[in-house]
Structure 1
């Protein structure tokens, strides 16, 4: 079973361009359709929780599904398969592109051509999942209500101010999902109708306070007021949950909170001493800049609600420029890194963590890019020794980024078992569906726009060519999705890459 989990999430990682919501269709295909480790409903719960808990969402989802399938070993196998191969690939590709002679435009162009054809493939998978979610929600909530709620969520959510799509109100996905959870609880409570209508007011106020236009117009509320509104929502949600009678026939997650906490305790009991021993043994890893970067990665990971769009500005604050917490890159270099990292599958957060840890160790050894304030402390080490410690340094940064988040997700999902037996939570999946549909629609638009713009910018091509190729590939992959049981994923991915290298 461990091997099955590993290979399933390795395949998922190969289709995980963008991470987070973008990786969900590939994960749904493996976990729900192919292996049946979780149900459709449970998958929606896992996806919703991963977008509301601190930490990158894709590794959290992998950890919960892997744990459901094969316990703690399954969780570790799922996360490792999802993030480690592509994190290693990111380090190798970036080192190749920025080798001794520096940047190579031809190499970067080759990489873009080899990967941009996969973007329409992921878009087709996202479209299939949106269609499935919409049909399910339409049966339960009604088609008109699903369209209205999905459209409202689409206008509210923030798909990333640093991407090609910016929503009018730009509210973080996590805040919208939290409000939907709150409304599902209060709507199911045995309260009078007037009380339920009044419960909408603090929810609306909460969303307004966290919308970007409020900040831009100088309407930002002081943090004590924001905290007070958040506590009011929490109190009303708890009161609604307590007032709603339980429903014993409702199936929960099947996880024991006590057993999950015990497994995680064992994991941390191994990771912490092992990490401390590695740091003490290395003349490079025990240096202040490396330890500072590791602490920054833990903090950044816990502040990354969702994935890439939230992580990018946090990574800039952490890594780029003299005002950053750890001056490792110039902003121009970090943007070049992001361009390369985004052309590779799997979550952007783990690839960035891996390359930053690798580069930090190389800089400390006097073998790095040498355009920052990191001073070499051990320049007499052999190249092989430096590479060894650099690889370990990159791996430790990945662990620092994802381990706190997957700990949160496993504990939260195990705690979810009792809540799922309440009618206040039975409607949660349905109320979350419009938000998930809105997130996926934004991902779909991002991928199609990025694909068309990238193809159109290739030498000798035009914007019309890029739009035509993207539309053709999207339609082709949409059609091929109907034959997914006959055509292996690897063959479709290989075909997309070959098309990019030969046609685009």
Structure 2
């Protein structure tokens, strides 16, 4: 079973460009369609929950599903398969690209050619999952409301509201409508929800307004408290279950406690033993990246500007890169699958240890070994708190799974997920168009035709020839980009 979990999330990781919502179709195909570890309803809950909790969404999804499939070993296998291979590859690739600056332009062009055709492949997977969610939403709340809510959520996303806040707003309204509260209170709840969406949108900057931080987070905290109270006060149809389902809270806390104990037992002596890792510069990076990860809801798109503020330029908290170099790193990281956060954490940890070594700090042993340890510790620091959040939250969620409030949340969350997938779909197709247009000999018309052709081809292959394995489709996309484009 552990091998199946590892292989499944390894395949999903190679299709997870950008992480988060972008990787959801690949995880859905493995966890729901192929192996049946979770059903559609549970998968939707996991996806929604991972986008509302701090930390990268993709490791959170893999942790919950892996745990439900094969316990703590399944969780470790799923997260490792999703994160580790690409984290190692991106460190090697960036070192190779920037080892000879004169060749970096050619290497970047080769990287773009080899990955650009994969974006239409992931877009086709997103399209299929959107259609599936549309059918489920139509059965639950009707086709008109499904489309209407999806368009409203899509408009909110394009107004700059983060995925997590849109999901939190929809969850709050759904739970409030199902709770045994007076109707006037349900109408009043629209005010804090609208306030939440407004203060976290681009309209604030457009109108040159300043919103105090305490107002932003007090509204978020208020909605979280109201949602929790609404769920607990809503009686279950057949009574609340006595246990927390397959993954009860007590065994989850026990398993997480053992993982944290092992991680601390390994990492603390390692940091204390190596002068490079216990340097003030590396410890500041470790603390800064961990805090940044906890402030990230959903993953990559939110993490990137926070990482720039942390790492790039003289005005940043930790001056590790120039803004130009960090943007080059981000371009490479975005061109490769798996979560952005884990890849950028691995690279920054590797580079910081090497910088400390270049500053004259004495150490023993090979530098590549300590640099690898520095990158690995940073990846663990970014992923483990998020995994802990997701497993604890979903275990608590299982306690009230039969509550009408939870059923209302599950139904109304589908349009939000459709809107998120649609925004990612549009972004991927735009990325494909602009990347192909930047290649020599490509015009705007030919780039548009290439985008449409690749999308239709992969959609047809996945619809009509479902037995084609995903690795073969990935290899075909890479070969097409290198040979044809």
TM-score interval, smaller chain = over 0.9
Q: 1:84 to 1:230 in 2, by over 3 A?
A: closer
Which of 380, 403, 424 is residue 443 of structure 1 equivalent to?
Answer: 424
Q: 1:437 to 1:268 in 2, by over 3 A?
A: same
| 2:24 alignment partner in structure 1 | 24
Matched, 1:309 2:304: no
Q: Give, in whole Å, the separation in 2 of the partners of 1:221 and 1:171.
A: 15
Deviations 1:54-74 (A, max 9, x none): 100001111111001111111
Which of 341, 345, 349 is residue 341 of structure 2 equivalent to?
Answer: 349
Instruction: Single out whichever of 144-153 and 452-461 deviates more from structure 2.
Output: 452-461
| 1:151 alignment partner in structure 2 | 151
Give the paired residue count. 483
* Other structure's SS at 1:104 match: helix
Matched, 1:376 2:357: no
Deviations 1:13-66 (A, max 9, x none): 111111111000000000000010111000000001100001000011111110
* Other structure's SS at 1:365 match: helix
* Other structure's SS at 1:427 match: helix
| 1:70 alignment partner in structure 2 | 70
Matched, 1:335 2:327: yes
Deviations 1:439-463 (A, max 9, x none): 1001000100100110111012112
The answer to whether the 8 Å contact 1:260/1:414 transfers is: yes
| 1:393 alignment partner in structure 2 | 374
Q: Report how far residue 199 of structure 1 moved.
A: 2.4
Deviations 1:163-208 (A, max 9, x none): xxxx1x2111111111111111111123343332232222112222
Q: Give, in whole Å, the separation in 2 of the partners of 1:110 and 1:240.
A: 53
> What stretches of structure 1 move > 6 A for 4+ residues in a row?
249-252
Cα RMSD after superposing both structures: 1.7
| 1:214 alignment partner in structure 2 | 204
- The within-5 A match list for 1:90-109 is 90-101=90-101, 104-109=104-109
Matched, 1:427 2:417: no
Q: 1:239 to 1:397 in 2, by over 3 A?
A: closer
Q: Show structure 1 runs of 5+ residues with no match.
A: 158-166, 367-374
Q: Give, in whole Å, the separation in 1 of the partners of 2:360 and 2:119.
A: 40
Q: 1:138 to 1:253 in 2, by over 3 A?
A: farther
| 1:369 alignment partner in structure 2 | none
When normalised by structure 1's length, the TM-score is 0.92
| 1:162 alignment partner in structure 2 | none
Q: Report how far residue 239 of structure 1 moved.
A: 4.3
| 1:465 alignment partner in structure 2 | 446
Deviations 1:218-276 (A, max 9, x none): 33333344444344434543443344212237886521000000000011111012101
Q: Give, in whole Å, the separation in 2 of the partners of 1:116 and 1:250.
A: 49
Q: Give, in whole Å, the separation in 2 of the partners of 1:89 and 1:238.
A: 41
Q: Give, in whole Å, the separation in 1 of the partners of 2:185 and 2:3.
A: 52
Matched, 1:240 2:235: no
